[in-house]
Structure 1
Amino acid sequence: MNDLLTALLLGLIEGITEFLPISSTGHLLIAQHWLGARSDLFNIVIQAGAILAICLVYRQRLLALAFGLGERENREFVLKVAAAFAVTAAVGIPVRLLGWKLPETVTPVAWALILGGVWMLLAERLAERRPERGLTWTVVVLVGLAQVVAGVFPGTSRSAATIFVAMLAGLTRRPAATEFCFLVGIPTMFAASGFAFVEYLAEGGEGEDWAALAIAFAAATLTGFLAVRWLLGYIKTHRFTGFAVYRIALGAALLLGLPAGA
Structure 2
Amino acid sequence: MLYALPVIRPSMLMSDPISALLLGILEGLTEFLPVSSTGHLLIAERWLGHRSDFFNIVIQAGAILSVALVFRQRLWSLATGLHEPGNRDYVLKLATAFLVTAAVGLPVRMAGWQLPETVTPIAWALVFGGVWMLLAERFAARLPDRDTVTWKVAVGVGLAQVVAGVFPGTSRSAAAIFLAMLLGLSRRSSAAEFVFLVGIPTMFAASGYAFFELARHGQLAHEAWSDVGIAFAAAVVTGFVVVKWLLGYIKHHRFTGFAVYRMALGAALLLFLPAGH
TM range (shorter): over 0.9
**Counterparts of 1:237 and 1:231, CA distance in 2:** 10
**Counterparts of 1:132 and 1:234, CA distance in 2:** 18
Whether the aligned pair in 1 keeps the contact of 2:34 and 2:258 (CA below 8 Å) is yes
**Counterparts of 2:62 and 2:205, CA distance in 1:** 13
Whether the aligned pair in 2 keeps the contact of 1:80 and 1:140 (CA below 8 Å) is yes
Matching residue's letter, 2:100 = V
Give deviations 1:28-57, integer Å, cap 9, x for gaps: 122124422222222122111011111111
Secondary structure of 2:122's counterpart equals helix
Matching residue's letter, 1:171 = L
Give deviations 1:224-257, integer Å, cap 9, x for gaps: 0000111011001000000000000111111111
Structure 2 counterpart of 1:216: 231
Secondary structure of 1:42's counterpart equals helix
Whether the aligned pair in 1 keeps the contact of 2:59 and 2:231 (CA below 8 Å) is yes
Give deviations 1:54-97, integer Å, cap 9, x for gaps: 11111111111111111010011111111101111111111111
Aligned partner of 1:85 among 86, 93, 98: 98
Counterpart mapping for 1:1-262 below 5 A: 1=11, 2-132=15-145, 134-204=148-218, 205-259=220-274, 261=276
Gaps of 5+ in 1: none
TM-score of the aligned structures, taking structure 2 as reference length: 0.91
Give 1:196 deviation, angstroms: 1.2
Whether the aligned pair in 2 keeps the contact of 1:41 and 1:193 (CA below 8 Å) is no
**Counterparts of 2:271 and 2:79, CA distance in 1:** 49
| Amino-acid identity (%) | 71
Whether the aligned pair in 2 keeps the contact of 1:33 and 1:106 (CA below 8 Å) is no
Whether the aligned pair in 1 keeps the contact of 2:119 and 2:275 (CA below 8 Å) is no
Whether the aligned pair in 2 keeps the contact of 1:117 and 1:247 (CA below 8 Å) is yes
**Counterparts of 2:186 and 2:57, CA distance in 1:** 30
Secondary structure of 2:35's counterpart equals coil
Matching residue's letter, 1:98 = A
CA gap of 1:252–1:201, structure 2 versus 1, over 3 A, is same
Whether the aligned pair in 1 keeps the contact of 2:61 and 2:204 (CA below 8 Å) is yes
CA gap of 1:216–1:171, structure 2 versus 1, over 3 A, is same
Whether the aligned pair in 1 keeps the contact of 2:66 and 2:236 (CA below 8 Å) is yes
Matching residue's letter, 2:67 = I
- Superposed CA RMSD in Å reads 1.3
Tell me the number of residue pairs that the alignment of Structure 1 and Structure 2 aligns. 262
Matching residue's letter, 1:5 = I
After superposing the two structures, state which structure 1 stretch, 217-226 or 195-204, moved more.
195-204
Matching residue's letter, 1:152 = V
Secondary structure of 1:244's counterpart equals helix
